[in-house]
Amino acid sequence: MLTSVKVQETFNQDGEDLTKMLRGLPKLRGLKGFLEPYVTSMQITCNYTSSHSTTNSQNLPRLPVPKLKDTIEKYLLTVRPHLNDEEFAKTTTLVKDFLNGTGQKLQALLEKRSKEHLNWLEEWWLNTAYLEYRDPVVVFSSPGLAFPLEKFESQKNQLQYAAKTLLAALEYKSLIDNNQIPVEMMGKNPLDMQQYKKIFGTCRIPWEKRDKLSYNNDSKHVTIIHNNHIFHVDLWGDDNILLNEDQIVEQLSKVIKLSNTVNNEGIGILTSENRDRWAKAYQLLANDKINKTSLEDVQRSIVVLCLDAPVGLWKLKDPDARRTLAGAQLIHGNGSSSNGGNRWFDKTVQFVVGADGVTGLTYEHSPAEGQPIAVLMDFIVQYLAKNKNPGPRSSRPREPTHLKFNVSSDVGAMINTAKKNLDSLVNNLELNCFQYNKYGKNFIKEQKLSPDSYLQMAMQLAFYRLHKVPGAHYESAATRMYIGGRTETIRSCSIESVEFARTMLNANNSPKEKSAALKSAINSHKNYTVQALQGLGVDRHLLGLKLTAIENGIEIPKIYSDKAFTKSAHMRISTSQVASKCDGFMCYGPLVSDGYATCYNPRANDINFATSAFVDNPDTDCVKYRNALEQSLQDMHDVLLQSITSKL
Ligand code: COA
């Protein structure tokens, strides 16, 4: 006789799934009735996690809808650097018409929406910025997060590190589940902590037109990928005891033994495809029962752990070349002949532990911003440094399961296409990751300047130095002081930033003039930042008005096809501060074909930068951009000190 049965159904986002869940309950209850004579206990669990805020347990304020007039005024200031006088006059007329016409109607509808939703933007943003976006998540959306590099002496070392990483992640997850992560604050304002709850057990599922998210917070297993083979590994034994480090190492060793040759038909590479192509392959795969079970097994795991092949990390003498190599492995696995097939890019947290010391994670961006992930990295790095007691052994660990996939000839052809497509993506991404160690945020603070605004202005100067035109510039600001808040764009290119760049590059100007221009540009940036953090930027409001028009069958206003809009939103510099205590860094690809990405981690006495550009664009060059950035940081430092000396 069976003693206990646990029936668990996991449903993902949105109304239709909730309806499905409610419809499913009687079925499960019926099953319970049928089994009752045979079992002593049966538990029915339904996990339901919404992709958008349905409760407000932290009692946070709601994201405001900015006043239309304020947004329009701000918008005109941000587009000014990109237009000549005639173009600017035309734009001014256009936005005034909008303000007095359709804009009013759209604003009223948007305000109505904001009363009906806890966060008027959250669901729209998730769909338009992520789930409906059809380019591959690789390079275009998923960042890599490089942990401090390791030097493994043996395979055992690699597996011990991997086991500790999993145990640290579980400890972190338990803190999240038990609401023990301290609520983050911005000044006196508590920040929304929901994103933390969405990072473990989550997986994106490819779907035609709009992907789905599957949340599985109660999972007990992880997915291990080695040589492109995919395994299910239970972290708890049959006695319900968590495996200790040695036991996890044993499980990983078994996985390695079971997959000693590269699987050329590994389906993981399909997750690097364009989303519609992957969705087609997914449907073909899921028609087969065995495949469906394997796919769902990966989706439900807590995290993916990729045990990667060596990449020659320590053969590189230059520490920045090692960083760049690590960044590449974490963004795209360096293509089909390296570790690009040893991945499941749809998983929110995908740890990478490479045989010769590349360590970190690739994260699928849709459920969360970089910050909770960077906090996870610091937690893991601190955990690794401690010498923890091994803990009790489970007396009944389960054997790892090699997940089976039946690959039809159609899917086989899709795998081959995916390999070619990933390889072209890899070949087209130029990365340059480096540590700037002449100074860090301490020096900037000593000058009584905001480190973030200062670094943003260094990027403005670097771009202008190279291209001699203003560079539209995106920086993410967290709007987590609001329920369900994600980000707002800081438009870092301003009238003052361009004036600053021109002043700096003119040898006739004195250090005092240059320093004054720098401070004015920093003030302007800081001012925009403060507004963006309060949800009062330009971009999300304009997006909301446009989506309101689409949803209500109203013709999209002309301001969206105006040169001012297209130029100021063509973000040639795409940036994000992702701060961590440890010597790690985040990296990702540019937003536009002729742009640069710059992710940075400002630490007390150094700054980690990860920059990228597309190889096939003749206008951009990552090495030149890095040199221009370093030169700008040096020049800014010097003019600040010289201007003080000249005052004395
Ligand atoms: N004089 C001296 N010190 C100053 C200063 C000044 N004029 N201005 C700021 N500082 C100090 C601050 O007090 C702060 O001190 P701390 O290190 O003790 O905390 C430090 O300098 C850093 O402040 P600053 O550089 O101005 O801004 P920030 O670190 O708060 O960052 C944002 C600004 C916009 C990046 C941040 O608010 C944010 O939104 N981060 C999240 C971005 C994000 O979502 N990224 C992930 C996307 S995937």
> What six digits make up the tokens of 82?
């990109």
Q: Establish if 110 belongs to a structural domain.
A: yes
pLDDT at position 630, please?
A: 98
Q: Residue 3: which of 40, 30, 55, 28 has the closest Cα? A: 40
Within 10 angstroms of residue 45's Cβ, the number of other Cβ atoms is: 11
Does 475 share its domain with 544?
Answer: yes
Mean pLDDT (the chain) is: 93
The set of protein residues with a Cβ atom below 6 angstroms from ligand 1 is 369-371, 445, 448-452, 476-478, 487, 529, 533, 576-578
Task: Using most ligand atoms within 8 A of CB, pick from 439, 488, 577, 591 the residue to mutate for ligand 1.
Answer: 577
User: Rounded CA gap, 504 and 514, in Å?
Assistant: 6
Q: What's the CATH number where 225 sits?
A: 3.30.559.70
Does 377 share its domain with 239?
Answer: yes
Does 475 share its domain with 594?
Answer: yes
Does 123 share its domain with 144?
Answer: no
Reported confidence tier of residue 543, pLDDT bands at 50, 70, 90: very high
Q: Establish if 608 belongs to a structural domain.
A: yes
Q: Residue 435: which of 576, 582, 641, 614 has the closest Cα? A: 582
**Can you give the three-state secondary structure of 566-599, one letter per residue?**
HHHCCCCEEEEECCCCCCCEEECCCCCCCCEEEE
Which atom belonging to ligand 1 lies closest to the Cα atom of 478?
39
430, 462, 484 — which closes off a domain? 430
pLDDT at position 1, please?
A: 31
User: Rounded CA gap, 96 and 132, in Å?
Assistant: 32
Does 124 share its domain with 143?
Answer: no
Reported confidence tier of residue 266, pLDDT bands at 50, 70, 90: very high
Q: Residue 498 pLDDT more than 60? A: yes
Task: Using most ligand atoms within 8 A of CB, pick from 186, 376, 452, 519 the residue to mutate for ligand 1.
Answer: 452
User: Rounded CA gap, 15 and 37, in Å?
Assistant: 35
Local structure of 304: helix, strand or coil: strand
Task: Output the residue whose Cα is nearest ligand 1's atom 10.
Answer: 450
DSSP 398-410: PPPEE------HH
Give whole-number Cα distances, 166 to 257, 386, 607, in Å.
20, 15, 28
> What six digits make up the tokens of 616?
């096939």
Q: How far is the CA of 538 from the centre of ligand 1 (A)?
A: 20
Q: How far is the CA of 526 from the centre of ligand 1 (A)?
A: 10
User: Rounded CA gap, 325 and 466, in Å?
Assistant: 25
Q: Residue 49 pLDDT more than 90? A: no
Q: How far is the CA of 597 from the centre of ligand 1 (A)?
A: 19
Q: How many domains does the chain divide into?
A: 2
Which atom belonging to ligand 1 lies closest to the Cα atom of 449?
7
- 7-16 pLDDT, tens digit per residue, is 343 334 443 4
Q: How far is the CA of 197 from the centre of ligand 1 (A)?
A: 24
Strand 473-478 relative to strand 573-577, pairing: parallel
Give whole-number Cα distances, 396 to 243, 404, 547, in Å.
9, 24, 54
- 149-177 pLDDT, tens digit per residue, is 999 999 999 999 999 999 999 999 999 99
Q: Establish if 577 belongs to a structural domain.
A: yes
pLDDT at position 10, please?
A: 39
Q: Residue 647 pLDDT more than 70? A: no
pLDDT at position 390, please?
A: 79
430, 454, 470 — which closes off a domain? 430
Q: Residue 496 pLDDT more than 60? A: yes
* Mutual angle of helices 495-505 and 451-467, in 10-degree steps: 60
Q: What's the CATH number where 556 sits?
A: 3.30.559.10
Q: Establish if 8 belongs to a structural domain.
A: no
Question: What's the whole-number mean pLDDT along residues 590-606?
Answer: 98
Which atom belonging to ligand 1 lies closest to the Cα atom of 451?
25
Sheet strands (E) in 67-143: none
- 210-263 pLDDT, tens digit per residue, is 999 999 999 999 999 999 999 999 999 999 999 999 999 999 999 999 999 999
Decide if 11 contacts 18 (C-beta within 8 A): yes
DSSP state of 236: B
Q: Establish if 30 belongs to a structural domain.
A: yes
In the block, residue with structure tokens 């970190």 = 360
Does 212 share its domain with 251?
Answer: yes
Does 100 share its domain with 169?
Answer: no
pLDDT at position 648, please?
A: 53
Does 157 share its domain with 94?
Answer: no
Using CB atoms within 10 A of its CB, is residue 115 exposed (0-12), middle (13-18) or buried (19+)? exposed
In angstroms, how far is the first alpha carbon of the chain from the final one? 90
Does 552 share its domain with 613?
Answer: yes
Using CB atoms within 10 A of its CB, is residue 289 exposed (0-12), middle (13-18) or buried (19+)? exposed
C-alpha 44: how far from its chain's center? 34
Q: Residue 604: which of 375, 378, 442 has the closest Cα? A: 442
Helix (H) or strand (E) holding 225: strand 221-226
User: Rounded CA gap, 527 and 532, in Å?
Assistant: 9
Express as a percent the part of the chain with pLDDT over 90: 89
Decide if 46 contacts 9 (C-beta within 8 A): yes
Give the residue numbers marked as catalytic: 365
Question: What's the whole-number mean pLDDT along residues 44-71?
Answer: 82
Using CB atoms within 10 A of its CB, is residue 448 exposed (0-12), middle (13-18) or buried (19+)? exposed
Q: Residue 25 pLDDT more than 50? A: no
Q: How far is the CA of 533 from the centre of ligand 1 (A)?
A: 11
Reported confidence tier of residue 33, pLDDT bands at 50, 70, 90: very low
Does 168 share its domain with 277?
Answer: yes
In the block, residue with structure tokens 């998540």 = 137
Contacts of 628 (CB under 8 A, 6+ apart): 461, 462, 463, 465, 466
Q: What range does the domain containing 193 cover? A: 134-430
Which segment of 60-74, 344-358, 367-381 scores lowest on mean pLDDT? 367-381
Q: Find residue 292's DSSP bridge partners.
A: none
Q: Establish if 154 belongs to a structural domain.
A: yes
Decide if 401 contacts 384 (C-beta within 8 A): no
User: Rounded CA gap, 298 and 303, in Å?
Assistant: 9
pLDDT at position 371, please?
A: 84
Does 493 share its domain with 385?
Answer: no
Task: Output the residue whose Cα is nearest ligand 1's atom 4.
Answer: 450
Decide if 305 contacts 249 (C-beta within 8 A): no
User: Rounded CA gap, 638 and 631, in Å?
Assistant: 10
Local structure of 183: helix, strand or coil: coil
Within 10 angstroms of residue 129's Cβ, the number of other Cβ atoms is: 16
397, 430, 463 — which closes off a domain? 430
Which atom belonging to ligand 1 lies closest to the Cα atom of 487?
44
DSSP 326-385: HHHHHHHTTSTTTTTTS--TTBSEEEEEETTS-EEEEE--TT--HHHHHHHHHHHHHHHH
**Residue length of the chain:** 648
pLDDT at position 126, please?
A: 98
Q: Establish if 6 belongs to a structural domain.
A: no
> What six digits make up the tokens of 262?
């590269």
Reported confidence tier of residue 36, pLDDT bands at 50, 70, 90: very low
pLDDT at position 39, please?
A: 38
Reported confidence tier of residue 132, pLDDT bands at 50, 70, 90: very high
Which atom belonging to ligand 1 lies closest to the Cα atom of 365?
48
Which segment of 8-22, 466-480, 567-581 scores lowest on mean pLDDT? 8-22
Q: Find residue 432's DSSP bridge partners.
A: 611
User: Rounded CA gap, 167 and 303, in Å?
Assistant: 12
pLDDT at position 31, please?
A: 42
Within 10 angstroms of residue 59's Cβ, the number of other Cβ atoms is: 7
Local structure of 134: helix, strand or coil: coil
Q: How far is the CA of 576 from the centre of ligand 1 (A)?
A: 12
Q: Establish if 436 belongs to a structural domain.
A: no
Task: Output the residue whose Cα is nearest ligand 1's atom 22.
Answer: 451
Does 251 share its domain with 394?
Answer: yes
